[in-house]
């Protein structure tokens, strides 16, 4: 059961299209698995449309209203073209046969290299990461695979980190996070995730800035995610 959701600020930014793509992908993946937040976004969309209609009626001149309608029509045609493309995409057998990767939400599956060559890097005995390309230079998007019962090196953040649990579960000082859960860590927060004993855990996260490792072993191994723009 999903108990951790994006807050209204994030959902509003998502709804208005102002969220950075890399973070938007994670919010979108959460929405694909969370009826509660889908409903919330629907409400926010209606609210946004009502505000837009009101402001158009009140302040927008006829010329710019035409421009606005052209933009909306263009956006709609781009969206439907994207949808057609996505339905013809299939998961590469390498991913389809991976018990953790085979159920990733559609929006995440689109980020996987088409040739099946997702490159996993061993960070520590318990943790492997694989970076994904999103075309965003200020964010890094990566999978983390924590082996069952494994503990990740304690680390803190110089920037925002948004994480979603795709499979399995993990816990840290603040709670337990299950499949579909969405969490945000702000700069300066320190945590040390541990996967549950009986199952490996797969997460996807977006990191805004380099992660600083705080524990002793941090000096010996790579950080949870060393920053490398995609």
Binding footprint of Zn ion on the chain (CB under 5 A): 5, 34, 36-37
Give the shortest CB-175-to-Zn ion separation in angstroms. 15
Is the four-CA dihedral 60, 62, 67, 73 of positive or negative sign? Answer: positive
Between 36 and 219, whose beta carbon lies closer to Zn ion? 36
C-beta of 16: minimal distance to Zn ion in Å? 18
- Least Å from the CB of residue 192 to Zn ion: 25
Q: Which residues contact 27 (CB under 8 A, 6 or more apart)?
A: 6, 10, 11, 14, 19, 162, 182
Query: At its nearest, how many Å lie between Zn ion and the CB of residue 165?
Result: 12
| Cα torsion angle, 32, 33, 36, 37, sign | negative
Query: Strand locations in the chain, DSSP E?
Result: 121-122, 127-132, 140-146, 155-157, 161-167, 170-172, 175-177, 182-185, 190-191, 194-195, 201-207, 211-213
What is Dmax (Cα atoms) for the chain?
A: 64
């Amino acid at each position: 059961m999903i108990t951790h959701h994006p807050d209204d600020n994030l959902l509003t930014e998502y709804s208005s299209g102002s969220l950075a793509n890399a973070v938007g992908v994670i919010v979108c993946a959460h929405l694909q698995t969370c009826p509660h937040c889908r409903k919330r976004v629907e409400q926010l969309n209606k609210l946004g449309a009502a505000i837009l209609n009101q402001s158009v009626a009140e302040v927008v001149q006829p010329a710019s209203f035409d421009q606005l309608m052209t933009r909306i029509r263009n956006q709609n045609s781009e969206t439907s073209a994207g949808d057609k493309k996505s339905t013809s995409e299939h998961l590469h057998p390498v991913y389809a046969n991976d018990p953790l990767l085979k159920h990733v939400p559609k929006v995440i599956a689109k980020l996987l290299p088409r040739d099946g060559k997702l490159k996993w890097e061993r960070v520590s005995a318990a943790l492997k990461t694989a970076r994904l390309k999103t075309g965003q230079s200020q964010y890094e998007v990566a999978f983390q695979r924590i082996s069952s019962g494994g503990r990740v090196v304690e680390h803190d953040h110089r920037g925002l980190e948004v994480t979603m649990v795709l499979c399995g579960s993990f816990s840290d000082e603040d709670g337990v996070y299950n499949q579909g859960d969405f969490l945000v860590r702000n700069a300066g927060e320190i945590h040390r995730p541990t996967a549950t004993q009986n199952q490996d855990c797969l997460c996807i996260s977006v990191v805004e800035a380099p992660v600083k490792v705080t524990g002793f072993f941090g000096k010996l191994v790579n950080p949870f995610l060393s920053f490398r723009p995609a």
